[in-house]
A and B are shown apart, each in its own frame.
Chain A
Amino acid sequence: MKIIVCVKQVPDTSGKVAVNPDGTLDRASMQTITNPDDLNAVEAALKLKDETGCKVIVVTMGPPPAAGMLRELMARGADEGILVSAREFGGSDTYATSQILAAAVNRIGVESDDIVMCGRQAIDGDTAQVGPQIAEKLHLPQVTYAADIQKTGDTVTVKRMLEDGYMTIKVKTPCLLTCIKELNAPRYMSVGGIFEAYGKPLATYDYETLKDDPLIDPSTIGLKGSPTNILTSFTPPLKGAGVMLEGADKETCEKLAGLLSAKHII
């Protein structure tokens, strides 16, 4: 059994967000972090590793410095890292990215008792599309928004957290799960893990490595293969502070109704 976790290095939006003149993110001038939801996916994988002794492989697509993030994840306990990196892959949108990551997962190989995990969504794009698209391209059953994961034999029981409640789904392996922050509290790197991290295997999959996969076609990868194009990015204008009304009495309710009516909301 092994768990393949797809992770993304994203700009640290808790610091200053830098934007290029063309409206795209100035990633080079911003600190990077591992996408928070992806850390929950890695933690879920490491917990299953603690229980079963399975192998955990972390995979990312990005420029060469993303290898540093993979080493950090190995310092948390992951066993191997795969960096998917090539000029041909640059500029990929979610469709093209999932195409490439699916090819990378194919290359690693998905066996009958394996699980692929992803974070729900990345904080830079917030699309939540890559995980589900990888599942579709690999023809794997998928369960999204996992808030609890239990594995017994070849059955994985997943509690999905939705806006209006929970849904529990049982799925057979191999499968793909997308994870949310409510799933767990990610562990930190450990000192022992740090001193082992650089001795663990880290492979780079470039275009040559993946080009024979049927999913890799110049028309479906990179900027050219991306159906989505960003026209502009901008910081939304700040809204006013808003008005807070407290109390459940008639007078407060009438005041609320008056305010809503004045704005033609009711």
Chain B
Amino acid sequence: MDFELTREQELIRRMTREFTENEVKPIAAETDRTCAYPRETIDQLFRYGIMGMSVPQEYGGAGADDLSSAIAIEELSKACASTGDIVATHNGLCCGPIIQNGTEEQKQKYLRMLTTGGKLGAFCLTEPDAGSDASKCTTVAKPEGDHYVLNGSKIFITNGYAAEVFVVFAMTDPSQGTRGISAFIVENTFPGFSVGKHEEKMGLHGSPTAEIVFTDCIVPRENLLGKEGKGFKIAMQTLDGGRIGIAAQGLGLAEGAMEEAVAYTKGRVQFGRPIAKFQNTQFLFADMAVSIEAGRLLTYQAAIRKTKGQSFTKEAAMAKLFTSEAAMQITTKSLQMFGGYGYTKDFPMERMMRDAKITEIYEGTSEIQRVVISNHIL
């Protein structure tokens, strides 16, 4: 078993770490405060090839492996989980299903838009009454002539009001249940497409979340992604891969919070010595370091298995479950070390704690991850 990163993966880490320190960290608090989509940062990430990095070279990407992609999200999320989320969604949930299921024409057109074209992507599955149970989706797609007509709405769509390309799931045959769901590539300029409510969230303020509404939305037939009725399978496959991205985001959040806490406790003096000198602090850091290392191994294992073409559903669920819960615990304990200062917006801890919470919820709640894992056991 080889635990060494490749030379390229090492460089991806160096590059994204440097980028994060110089470009992301300085604006993270302001992004959170203003709830502004960090457009300039994302434009730069397009320029440097982070956006769509796993897209094959012939379609405008770098053909990066899944571990490289996870490392990039991990490093970005150390300073700003919103940026990590935008990248994870674009790469895993929009580029991912098109790479896996797109026709040659779809790949040439849309993967280029999502890489060199600088267009942001999103993934539309969740509906008001179809969350963890995605089979209850009510958005419908009716074939008419050379196109489909979509009606319905999707909620909690990451990148919603900034994206221009959407992978959308809709019922083409409601009588078939999950076998009646199909996937489509939808552009925000298609007639009948609109952006609804912008969500005000507890955290991830820089990540643009919105409702997407389809009102007699005209989608060309050639934009059907995969075969009719195969949408649910595409969605589940995509979420398997997406979970590696969210695991990497949780990992980055946990690492970022611990780094902040280590630096703070070395300088904060109480009872005549830095609080890092107290055994309580030391034991907490030891436990955090173990969780981070375990989460890293789980996440990297899932990514490597995906690149090798091995089954990774269980491993991705384990990685996502473990790192998201570790992120929540580590941000909470790190904030505690800051005492009252940690509760203020003068330090990043309260933002990190708010940002961490969503990792236990989206792309499959912790409960759903346990369902996925136990299905592989029983």
Contacts and interface: CB of A to CB of B under 8 A. Distances in A.
A195 B8 contact: yes
A73 to B, nearest CB: 11
B48 A188 contact: yes
Contact of B63 (A187, A195, A197): A195
Interface of A: 71-72, 75, 187-195, 197-198
Contacts of A192: 49, 57, 62
Nearest to A194: B11
B93 to A, nearest CB: 19
Contact of A191 (B7, B12, B14, B18): B12
Given A72-B14, A189-B14, A189-B15, A198 B62 contact: no
Prevailing SS type, chain A contact patch: helix
A190 B15 CA distance: 8
20 contacts: A71-B7, A71-B11, A72-B14, A75-B15, A187-B48, A189-B48, A191-B12, A191-B53, A191-B68, A191-B72, A192-B57, A193-B49, A194-B11, A194-B12, A194-B15, A194-B62, A195-B64, A197-B8, A197-B11, A198-B7
Given A195-B63, A195-B64, A190 B11 contact: no
Prevailing SS type, chain B contact patch: helix
B201 to A, nearest CB: 29
Contacts of B49: 190-193
A75 B11 contact: yes
B330 interface: no
Contacts of A189: 11, 14-15, 48
Interface in B1-38: 7-8, 11-12, 14-15, 18-19
B50 interface: yes
A193 B12 CA distance: 10
Given A190-B15, A191-B62, A191-B64, 5 more contacts: A188-B15, A188-B19, A190-B47, A191-B50, A195-B62
A39 to B, nearest CB: 11
Contacts of A194: 8, 11-12, 15, 62
Given A195-B62, A195-B63, A195-B64, A188 B8 contact: no
A12 B50 CA distance: 26
Nearest to B10: A68
Contacts of A195: 8, 62-64
